[in-house]
Amino acid sequence: MKKLLLTGFVPFLDYTINPSQQIVQALDRQQIGAYEVVGTILPVEFAKSAAVLLETYERVQPDAVISLGLAAGRERITPERVAINCNDGDADNSGVQVQDQPIAADGPAAYFSTLPIRRMVNRLLERNIPAEISNSAGTYLCNNVMYQMLHYLHQRQLDVPAGFIHIPASHELAAQMKRSIPSWSLDTLTAAIHTAIEELPA
């Protein structure tokens, strides 16, 4: 059986819950299509997130990698098309804040996702789950781990599908926040990621 490395993040900023973490915990060790899910939760720190991801990759030697992250404010499941070579944005969980900084000094401007993102979106829509391809994973930790995973695989010429999927907030998270943000049930979020995983190459 093939192995899928599925990652989520711990809570960050003023989000007290991170549904990406809950989805990974729900799907960990499940068999989905040809894959067994190996779940890992990443810190939200520029100095650590990708290091933990790449160490886990080397230990697990997965056949595919999907990283998940919360995109508070989005109202659809959004597989990301591209990761760019840039760190920027709010301070991370360790208080580090960077601006306009390359992720890899020698790296290209961007990598395209090698996940079947169009097939994932089409299948989600067939199942009445709102989804669309996103053209920006931002410049925070989500983009960072996506870029670093693809950079690692590219440098080693490894033909392992990898990429990132952003998810809306969960109802539980949205109900706790003062400002209004779109939200989904955790069940639907988890079912959506299950559906996306089914589209990985067998």
Contact by Cβ (8 Å): 186, 22: yes
| 166 part of the active site | yes
Q: Which two tokens stand for residue 53?
A: 């991801």
The C-alpha atoms of residue 43 and residue 10 are separated, in whole angstroms, by: 6
Based on CB atoms, which residue is closest to its own copies, 39 or 138? 138
CB of 165 to its own copies, least distance (A): 16
Tell me the H-state helices in 81-185: 117-126, 141-155, 171-176
Contact by Cβ (8 Å): 37, 29: yes
The C-alpha atoms of residue 199 and residue 129 are separated, in whole angstroms, by: 15
x/- contact string, 2-41, with its own copies (CB under 8 A)?
----------------------------------------
Residue 138 binds to its own copies (criterion: CB under 8 A): yes
**For its own copies, which residue of 13, 188, 194, 198 counts as binding (CB under 8 A)?**
188
The contacts of residue 176 (CB under 8 Å, 6+ apart) are 16, 17
Contact by Cβ (8 Å): 182, 74: yes
| 36 part of the active site | no
The C-alpha atoms of residue 188 and residue 196 are separated, in whole angstroms, by: 12
x/- contact string, 73-102, with its own copies (CB under 8 A)?
--xx----xx-xxx-x----------xx--
CB of 156 to its own copies, least distance (A): 18
Pairing of strands 110-112, 82-84: antiparallel
Contact by Cβ (8 Å): 17, 49: no
CB of 131 to its own copies, least distance (A): 8
**For its own copies, which residue of 53, 66, 120, 174 counts as binding (CB under 8 A)?**
174
| 198 part of the active site | no
Catalytic residue chosen out of the listed positions 45, 80, 151, 199: 80
Residue 175 binds to its own copies (criterion: CB under 8 A): yes
Residues of this chain that bind its own copies (CB under 8 A): 75-76, 81-82, 84-86, 88, 99-100, 108-112, 118, 124-125, 128-133, 135-136, 138-139, 171-172, 174-176, 180-185, 187-188
Active site amino acids: 80, 142, 166
